[in-house]
Structure formats: C-alpha cells, structure tokens
Amino acid sequence: MNSVSSLAQAGTQKTWKTRYTVLLFIWLGWMFSFLDRMIMSVSLPFIGKDLGIDTTEQGLIISAFFLAYAGFQIPGGWLGDKFGPRKVMAFAITWWSIFTTLTGFVFTLPLMLAVRFLFGLGEGAFPGSSWKTIATYFPSKERGRATAIQSSVNTLGPALAAVVAAAIIGTLGWQMVFIIMGIPGILIALGMFLWIRNDPKDHPHMTPAELAELEASKEAENGGKGAAEVQIPFAKVLKSPILWQMALIWFLFDITFWGFSSWLPSYLMKVRGFSLAKTGVMAAIPFLCGTVGTLLGGYLSDKGKDARKWIYVVASVISAGFLYLVFSVESADMAVFYQCISSFFMFLAMALFWGILMDQIPTKIMGRASGIVNFGGQMAGVVSAPVMGYLIQTSGGRYDSAFWFMIIALAASAVVTAMLKNTSGQAAEI
C-alpha cells in the first residue's frame, strides 16, 4: 500500500481526533462563560430585594456586563490574531472566574456595576480566540457541527444555570452562587493552556492525516493558496460589507436571545406565579429543547450549505410566532410548551448563522472578524436588558411589550439574512 492510500485510510478511520479534545476544552470554557453570566438572571430578583433596586436598575447590572463584553470583542479578537488564541483564552477564563467570585461579596449597586463590568472584559476576550481555534483545527466540512457543539452552551448554560442557581439560592443564598461558580474556571484555564497549541502543526498529538486534511481545506478556502500566503490588513477587514451584514443579523438575533435568557426566570416567577424551585426547572426546559435545535442546525449547516440561509429565515419566523403565543396564552404550562418550540427553532437558526459565518470569513482573520460580528451581538445585550426592564416597569409589570420587542427583532434578522448573497461554503472576498 502506497503512502497516499495509507493516508487516506488513516483519515477515514473512526478514531478520536485531537481536534475534538481541543473542542472539548473550548466547550467547557464557553459553558462556564454562560454559567457565570446566566446565574445573574435567576439571582436578579433576590439581588434587587437586597440592594433595594427596581427592574430598570436590575437591567443596568446586566448592561454593565454587556457593555464591557461588547466593547472588548474587537480588541479580544485582535489579541487572538496577534498573540495566538491559547494564552488569550486561558487568561480570559482566569480573569472572569475571579470576578465571578467577587460578585458574591458585593452589597451596593455602584460596586456591583463595576464588578460586572470587569467581569465582562474577561469574557469579551474569549470568543474571537475560541472561534479562531475552531476554524484552525477543523476543516470546512466539519465547522458547522463543531460550532453547533460549541454553541450548545448557549442553551445548556442557561438551563443548567437556572437549576444550579435556584438550588444554591434556596439553601445558601444568592451570594454563594457566584462564590462557588468562579472556582472551576481556573482549572479549565490551566487545562486549556497545557493542551491547546496555536498552530495544529505544533500539537504533539495531531496525526499526519489530520494535518493533511486541514491543509487541503485551507487551500480550497484560499483559492489554491496556502494559508500563510494570504495577508489581509485590518483596515480592509473593517470595510467588508458581508462582515457588517453578519454583525447586524447577530445584533437583531441577540436582542431576542438575551431578552429571552435574561428575563425568562423573572417572567415565570412574577407573571406565571411559579415558585423558585419550579422556575429553576421550567426555565431550563426550553433551553434543553434549544440544545436539540442547535445540534440539528449544525448538521443542516454542513449538509445543506446552499439552503441554510433560507432555513435560518424560516426557523426565525417560526420562533417569533411561538414567542407571541408565550405571552398571549392563558395557561402557564402551555406558555412553557410554546417557549420550548420557540427555543428549538431559535437555536436551530443560531447554529446555521455561525455555520454561515465560519465559511464566509477567511481563517486568517477569524479572530478579528468574529470579534466584530460578536460585538454587534453583544451590543444587543447592552440594549435589550435595560429596554426590556423599562418596558416591563412602564407597563405595570406586564411583559407584552417586552415580548413584542423580541419578536420584531427576530423577524428583522430573518429579513437581513434573506439578503445575504453567498452562503454556499466558500469564503467571501474580504
């Protein structure tokens, strides 16, 4: 058997590939990123009571995080491209874990705003480097499912956070949620630093078959040129229309996502009359359904590259329709059921979005480009939380107008997505 045949056979063997261990560490980093930010959603009513603040001021606590998180997306992406994602990811996780723990020792609103802002800086440095690592270690044909697996934390994180936070608050108080949840991140950061390498070629466990597969994928992306031959100035990146179009889609989508995630526990307790324990379970179920949608979206992204933008459009519209039913139905149990359907289609659309992005953006600039796109999404967090808090407060505690805010944003993201020109799997001209 010649060397080419041997390489092909090795590449088709069903063995655990190094890139999936890399993905596991990234997944764990993202999981605790979501846990550490989403426990705030369940804690807010109790923090509001202890600090004596209304829903608008509670929204400011969420916005303080998102302001820093959004603001550091582009610098964080630049750091990942400049110095390599390995150190950036490990440092980012360590930083935000420290400030997660410190949140549990805060008893005034100004200090809470400061601590959550600093917490957001750490989390803001992480996304660009994580997506760059996925783009570096995974060939184009697998990036949809890789990003879907990574994105499953968008649903599992809030679900687990709701259960964990409710359990700890019920026994130890809201402060201990933050003190406890800051500890595991340090261990994840250490493991990530020891295992991951910036370049797959430098990883001792990468096989020749894996490296050959990656090289072939990079050459296809760059029109037959090796990845090292492609140099793209940052100024040119900023001028790319497709990049800002993707950022706008993510901004509109995340208005709905962050509104849904941040205010769902409060909605279930205050409007639907659920207890803290029941809220923990009922707030988790829609996100678990969303996990299924995320994984299916990743599969569809890889298998149907030509149709995925239209699948995104249809899924977003369906999700928006069921969001309307959530607040309009009288039965609390049916409201949770409709939340489950809405969540399934919302996160299916999300996985498709990131599959599109991974193929539209050259790997060489993935840190900077994904940072710009995610900046758009996280600005939605800055806007969504206080706007929804204000809408709830001015309507006497009703959530109808807040839900309409989310519905319109999600439908608008579908409209902009329909206008995308190329989503077939080849990187756009940047």
Is residue 132 a contact partner of residue 83, using CB atoms and an 8 Å limit? Answer: no
- Burial (0-12, 13-18, 19+ Cβ within 10 Å), 199: exposed
Measured between alpha carbons, how far is 415 from 17 in angstroms, rounded to an integer? 39
pLDDT digits (tens, 9 = 90+) for 343-376: 999 999 998 998 888 777 776 777 777 778 878 8
Instruction: Tell me the mean pLDDT in the region 67-74.
Output: 86
What does each C-alpha distance from 42 to 39, 266, 271, 284 come to in angstroms? 6, 7, 15, 11
pLDDT at residue number 410: 94
Is pLDDT larger for residue 93 or for residue 363? 93
Question: What pLDDT, on a 0 to 100 scale, did the predictor assign at position 224?
Answer: 53
Over residues 219-247, the pLDDT tens digits come to 776 655 554 445 666 667 677 778 888 88
Structure confidence at residue 426 (pLDDT): 53
Mean pLDDT over 259-283 rounds to: 80
More confident residue, 250 or 279: 250
Confidence of residue 321 (pLDDT cuts 50, 70, 90): very high
Side chain identity, residue 245: Q
In the prediction, which pLDDT does 9 show?
43
Q: What is the pLDDT of residue 152?
A: 85
> What's the pLDDT score for residue 229?
46
Taking the C-alpha atoms of residue 218 and residue 81, their distance in angstroms, rounded to an integer, is: 17
Residue 2 has a pLDDT of: 44
The answer to whether residue 309 scores a pLDDT higher than 50 is yes
E-strand stretches of 262-326? none
* Average of per-residue pLDDT across 41-49: 86
What structural domains does the chain harbor? 17-418 (1.20.1250.20)
One DSSP character per residue, 72-123 reads: THHHHHHHHHHH-HHHHHHHHHHHHHHHHHHHTT--SHHHHHHHHHHHHHHH
Higher pLDDT, 235 or 44: 44
Determine the average pLDDT of the residues in 250-263: 85
Q: Is the pLDDT of residue 217 over 60?
A: yes
Query: pLDDT (tens digit, 9 = 90+) per residue, 383-424?
Result: 887 788 788 888 888 888 888 999 999 999 999 999 887 655
- Lowest-pLDDT range, 4-13, 280-289, 393-402? 4-13
| Predicted local distance difference test score (pLDDT) of residue 242 | 80
Select, from the ranges 64-73, 94-103, 324-333, 361-370, the one with the highest average predicted confidence (pLDDT).
Answer: 94-103
pLDDT at 85: 92
- Mean pLDDT across the chain, nearest whole number? 83
Burial annotation 202-226 (CB, 10 A radius, 16+ → b, else e): ebeebbebbeebbeebbeebbeeee
Quick one: which of 249, 254, 265, 260 has its CA closest to 402? 260
Residue 419: which residues within 8 A CB-CB, separation 6 or more? Answer: 245
pLDDT tens per residue, range 137-179 = 988 888 878 888 888 887 788 778 878 888 888 889 899 999 9
Give pLDDT, residue 222: 60
Residue 89 pLDDT greater than 90, yes or no? yes
Most confident range, picked from 24-28, 148-152, 331-335: 24-28
Instruction: Name which of 377, 430, 413, 361 is nearest 131 in CA terms.
Output: 361
- Among the residue ranges 196-205, 250-259, 275-284, the one predicted with the least confidence is 275-284
Give the pLDDT of residue 377: 81
Tell me what pLDDT residue 15 has. 55
> What's the pLDDT score for residue 259?
81
**What gap in Å lies between CA 406 and CA 255, rounded to an integer?**
6
DSSP 3-state of 271: coil
pLDDT given for residue 154 in this prediction: 78
Above 50 in pLDDT, residue 288? yes
Does residue 97 contact residue 416 with C-beta atoms inside 8 Å?
no
| Per-residue pLDDT, 423 | 55
